[in-house]
Each structure stands twice: as structure tokens, then as C-alpha cells.
Amino acid sequence: VLLRYSVGNKICLIQELQMLRGDKKEENNNNKKNHFIAATTHLHWNPRSPHQEQQAKELISALSNQQQQQLPIILGGDFNSSPSSPCYHHLHQAGFHNLELSTHPDNKKTFTTHVPRSCQMKIPDARRVGRIGEREGEEVEEEAEVLLQNPVDVDHVFVKGVNWVEEGKEG
């Protein structure tokens, strides 16, 4: 899905994937329970920009089209926003919630936003910029808890995060 804006092109990739478990390849292939939707995006850098809010709305719309499959959705990306931003508001209203707090409530790490040769950060809480998330599902949540035990460094000033879980909805 290609999202176009006057600020340039932003890409949202959405793909159905399958989680293979053990040696039961044939059983895995026939079991939709092992399938999930993976999506990633990189939203506009300025959380005060109307472009970022529009991108969040279009991302939600694209993911809503996947709901008819009733599969868990794992959403990752660089949202360039804080919990008080319109982007987070729209994701929350669409049924997503912050998974990082529920899996690591005592994780109080802070991260620097110092990046040489870059513009001044205009994000209210830059520690919470980048995220990985998922749509709620029994097995997916169990997998998320395992995955979240080790933070994943990325090529931005922020570090790992699990951010959105979309509550299961009837398609």
C-alpha cells in the first residue's frame, strides 16, 4: 500500500505471514491460527504536522481492510510521536493500546535524543518514538512477551518498544 502526500511518499507495507511451529509443517500450512498480518510504516517526522495525522488515519484504514481475515496484526514502525499526539489518539480509538507498559511495567529506561548533524527534535517525548506492536490474540501475546525480553536496537535515536495491540474485532 503506497501512501502519498504533498510532503513526499510514505510507504506502509502489509503482508500476511505464517508462524511455523516445530516439525508439523503440513499442520501449520492448514492452520490459519498460525497466520498473522505484519505491517510497518514510517510516519512524518513532525507530530504537529497534519500530514502525520492523515498518515495515521490512512494506516488505520489500510489495516481495517485486513480485519475481514480476523488475523492478529503485528504493527511496527517509526511513528515519530508521543502518547499525547493525535497519531496515538487515532490508533487508540481504532482499538490499539500500548503493549510496552503491560509487558514491562517497571521498565523506566530513558534515551538520549542527541543526534549530530540532525535538526532539533520537536517531539514532546522522544523516548517513546519508535514501536513494535500487535493486534491482540492469545498466542500472539504469549509470543510478544518472549520477544520483548530483549530490546532491539534500531538505527534511530530511540530503542525498542512494543506499542500497539489492536483488540480483536469481528470482521
7 assigned to some structural domain = yes
Domain count, the chain: 1
Compute the average pLDDT of residues 2-9.
40
120 assigned to some structural domain = no
* 26-42: pLDDT as tens digits: 555 666 777 888 888 88
pLDDT for res 102? 60
Distance CA 94, CA 167 (A): 9
In 3D space, the residue among 60, 52, 122, 124 whose CA is nearest the CA of residue 92 turns out to be 60
103 assigned to some structural domain = yes
171 assigned to some structural domain = no
131 assigned to some structural domain = yes
